Structure 1
Amino acid sequence: MTRPTSHSAPGAAVRLRLAATGLALAGLLGTVVLDAPSAGAATYPSWDEVMAARGQESAKQDQITEIKGIISGLSAKVKAAEAEAQRLGTEFFEAQSDAQDAAEKEQRLRADAEEHADVAEQSAAQAGQFAAQMARSGGADVTASVISGGEDASDLLYNLGALSKLSEQAERVEAAATADAAVARSLTAQADRAAEALDELAAEAERRMQAAQAAADAVQSAYDEQQSNKARLDAQLATLTSGRVRTEAEFAKGEAVRKAAEEKAAREAAARAAAAAAAAAANSGGSGSSGSGSSGSPGSGSGTGWVRPASGYVISPYGWRVNPYTGAVALHQGTDLTSGCSTPIVAAAAGTVDYVGWYGGYGNYVRISHGGGVQTAYGHIVNGGFRVSPGQHVSAGQLIALVGSTGQSTGCHTHFEVHLNGATTDPVPFMQARGVAF
């Protein structure tokens, strides 16, 4: 996934829309209520009511209409919540992109200021050496020393010329030191102003993230309600529309079989994740050969507390490229791995989950904070593939999601990012410095 070179709305527009965030959330709730009955508003029919309606044609048709309406309403509620979550998730992405740009600018200015300050310090030291050299030639009265020290006219002229050149060189070095010091002060002042702008943009991004997270939570709530009721409603509808009588007991038996299968699948997935984590702990020599050809398993690492987030080799590195989805040249702010569809994505290190939801062209997205200004992020997660919640603490190698192709993606893969103090950095050397190869 590549962040577009130009956002669909500029930073100023993002800030102007910020005031509407609360209204947007209110709109989400209003949309949910108007578009579909909520759990409180809907009166779900009981099995006794369904069975009683079978014997009366008019009552049966009314019951069929009611159940179909509830099923449709549940589906509409999920779709409305998903649309709102994607809208707010895209606005969060745009605001976060502005903040990342500001962080990168501030870091560049700081680095340039430090570089000029170092040069100024070196030039000042060199100027001091020249001054000391001149002082050693004659103390306080250098000129008198040069004149009296010569044995004849040629010596005098040579000494005067040498003194003149030494003096000129000292002046040039001192002037350069003064200029570099002035540039360093100017760049520091610019960096300070950039930091102030960054604080505002970061706060805006945080507010956008909270709005997007609330919308993502609403999607999960709507989906959970749909899943918990739709199977029963479908069974009740089949009872009314088919010639076969289905009972609550039969439905409950079928649900027990289904849930047992789901629990078995969950146990197997947990066992696979545990095996991957155990392999990571046992692997003290890294995850294989370094470079883009490496394709280690998720959870493999080197005992540093950092592990590989997903399987596959690097198909698109960090840096400028032609976005395969949009065709535009843009900075690819992460590393893409050739992970298979619905394969595990694990936490690259221990930390706290701070976002789980839609994130613009990255689709379904998880971000984890590891402390010290370090964050990792994982994009294009499959729909229904989240395995963590906001605020949850995770350990290195813990299953957090499943690979997908949501957002601006041309196929299943893992988009992995590393953020340092609000700006992105190349994940490959960052992870290699921590003993994890890609």
Structure 2
Amino acid sequence: MPHSVRPVPASSPLHRPTSASTLVLALVVALLAVLVVPDRASAAAPTWQAVLAARDDESAKRTALADLQAALDAASARAEAARTSADDAGRVLGEAQAAVDEATARHEQLETRRAEARATADSSREVVGQAAALMARPGSGGMVGDLLAAGDGAQEVLKGLSLSSKLGENIGRLRERAQAADNLATSSADQAAVALAERDRLAADARTALDEAAAAGVTAEADLAAVDDEKATLVAQVALLEDDRMTLEQGYAQAQAAAAAAAAAAARPAPAAGGGTGPVAPGTGGPGPGVTVPDPGTGWVAAIRSYSSYQAYGYRIHPITGDRRLHAGADFGAACGTPIYSVSAGRVSYAGPSSGYGNLIVVDHGGGVSSAYAHMERNGIYVSVGQQVRAGQNIAGVGTSGGSTGCHLHLEVRQGGVATDPVVFLASQGVR
């Protein structure tokens, strides 16, 4: 029994002419203009006309099927190459950000060393000055006691001296200590300046890596969409070749329907809050994607509303590598799928894979300030590059991808590409 065919609108390239001969001619012209897939990896991939003609010849049918399978394999290879390219760019971005954080840590350590050396030099000179003044005073006898009462700086220096010996014998040592501390402070300051320049250079490299990763992600999405369209056509051609009852119009309609379904799936809204990779603990529910939490008036909000654990910004022993390094953000432990909100309005400058971050979203808030959200699963990213988001908009769901030991949000705030404590920064914006 033949399949029924839905009437085709007059505007369609498949609108039926009134005679059989003109039908064939119209189909050939329309399909050549509309249905032949451009830029197909395999030049041997058959056209719709070749597929239709091959149904009457078993040898031609086998050849056409082989060509279609080769074209499908080539399309799949291009899709994989597009994903790999985007993943590689994201890995470079993650490594660039890690390099900035290492340089930041180095600069901070040198600044701390410089400050400590300067304090040692200043306190040592203070004691030397006070001792010289006391020794010059007529009748001075309780010099040690006088110095111990002279202030905290003097007391700290004197702790390292033998109080049972004459203080005068230690003045030379104190001068040497002050000079050595001076030298260390100067050297540390010089090294800190070099580290600062290196940090700024790496921050610029990271910004470039961010732009390149974003561009690679957008290109990959476009490539994947094109591959989906091509696969839909190829699969429909296989069906037309294998089913002698199917008309050319039906094969074309099937290809269109499959392509539309793939596009709809790609554009489908994110799942409601809690619809991520795992259950949401009681009390962690929140507005679904695109819903804005009421803004307290500051323009800034918390990135997560409910969490069970917290690890602050700062130096720590890395839970995976075991080495001590700067933790450039704050971690909020919560069930996978728990809503993550943009801390302020801005433009999404990256959304995709990024090395140890797993999957990463970066939002540019302007003025050199950006926020980053990490470790979501791929299906836990609810925004795309270039999208404008509002303060409190649900942009993602908590996950545990990348360098993660459990479901949590890793939140960063960067100023000029350099990480700062996100909790302290948000507190300065009125977020408690």
* Same fold at TM > 0.5: yes
Q: How does 1:73-92 map to 2 (within 5 A)?
A: 73-92=74-93
Asked whether the 8 Å contact 2:336–2:397 carries over to 1, the reply is no
**C-alpha displacement at 1:191, in angstroms?**
0.7
Amino acid at match of 1:77: R
Determine if the alignment matches structure 1 residue 359 to structure 2 residue 341: no
Q: Distance in 2 between matches of 1:253 and 1:38?
A: 19
d(CA) in 1 for partners of 2:205, 2:269: 41
**Secondary structure of the equivalent of 2:65?**
helix
Q: Deviations over 1:271-320 (max 9, x none)?
A: 93343x1x332xx3xxxxxxxxxxxxxxxxxx433223346514462453
Secondary structure of 2:67's partner? Answer: helix
Q: Which amino acid aligns with 2:392?
A: G
Q: How does 1:116-131 map to 2 (within 5 A)?
A: 117=118
- Equivalence map 1:24-423=2 (5 Å): 39=39, 41=41, 47-114=48-115, 117=118, 159-161=139-141, 182-206=183-207, 208-209=209-210, 212-242=213-243, 244-245=245-246, 246-252=250-256, 265=269, 272-275=288-291, 277=292, 279-281=293-295, 284=296, 303-310=297-304, 312-315=306-309, 317-318=311-312, 320-321=316-317, 323=319, 326=320, 328=322, 331=325, 333-334=328-329, 335-341=331-337, 344-370=339-365, 374-383=369-378, 386-390=381-385, 394-409=389-404, 413-419=408-414
Partner of 2:15: none
Change (3 A) 1:183 1:403: same
SS class of match (2:288):
helix
Using the TM superposition, give the Cα deviation of residue 79 of structure 1 relative to its aligned residue in structure 2, in angstroms.
1.8
C-alpha separation in 2, matches of 1:166 and 1:396:
61
The 1-side partners of 2:359 and 2:231 are apart by 24
Structure with larger RCO (C-alpha < 8 A, sep 6+): 1
- Deviation string 1:46-100 (CA, Å, 9 cap, x unpaired) is 5555444434333333332222222221211222333344345434433432331
Q: In the alignment, is the contact (CA less than 8 A) between 2:300 and 2:344 conserved in 1?
A: yes
Cα RMSD for the two superposed structures:
4.6
User: 1:105-152 CA deviation, whole Å, 9 max, x = no partner?
Assistant: 112323443455567668878988999x98xxxxxxx87xx5xxxxxx
Aligned residue identity for 1:247:
G
Q: Structure 2: which amino acid aligns with 1:67?
A: L
- Paired with 2:116 and 2:366, the residues of 1 have a C-alpha distance of 27
> Which amino acid in the other structure matches residue 355 of structure 2?
G
- Which runs of 5 or more residues in structure 1 are unaligned? 1-36, 135-141, 147-158, 285-302
Secondary structure at the counterpart of residue 237 of structure 1? helix
Q: Provide the rounded CA distance (Å) in 1 between the counterparts of 2:115 and 2:288.
A: 49
Residue 91 to residue 273, structure 1, CA distance change in 2 (3 Å): closer
Distance in 1 (alpha carbons) for counterparts of 2:122 and 2:416: 28
Of stretches 253-262 and 89-98 in structure 1, the one that deviates more from structure 2 is 253-262
CA distance in 2 between partners of 1:104 and 1:384 (Å): 33
Which structure dedicates a bigger proportion of its chain to helix? 1
Q: Deviations over 1:180-235 (max 9, x none)?
A: 55543332112112223334444554555555455444432332222233233323
Query: How many angstroms does 1:162 deviate by?
Result: 6.8
* TM-score calculated relative to the size of structure 2: 0.62
User: What residue identity is the alignment partner of 2:109?
Assistant: R
Structure 2 stretches lacking a partner, 5+ long: 1-36, 148-166, 274-286
Residues 416 and 427 of structure 1 are in contact (CA less than 8 Å); yes or no, is this contact kept in structure 2? yes
Quick one: distance in 2 between partners of 1:231 and 1:310? Answer: 40
Q: Hey, what's the Cα distance between the residues in 2 that align with 1:256 and 1:436? A: 44
Mapped to 2, the partners of 1:370 and 1:75 lie a distance apart of 37
CA–CA separation in structure 2 for the residues paired with 1:411 and 1:65: 46
Over 3 Å counting, the alpha-carbon distance change for 1:72 and 1:253 in structure 2 is closer
1:299 aligns to what?
Answer: none
Deviations 1:224-252 (A, max 9, x none): 22223323332332232345513323554
- What letter matches 2:288 in structure 1? R
For 1:63, give the aligned amino acid.
A
Query: Per-residue deviation at 1:255?
Result: 5.5
**Which has the higher mean CA deviation after the structures are superposed, 312-321 or 192-201?**
312-321
State the secondary structure of the residue aligned to 1:349: coil
Higher mean C-alpha displacement, 352-361 vs 425-434: 425-434
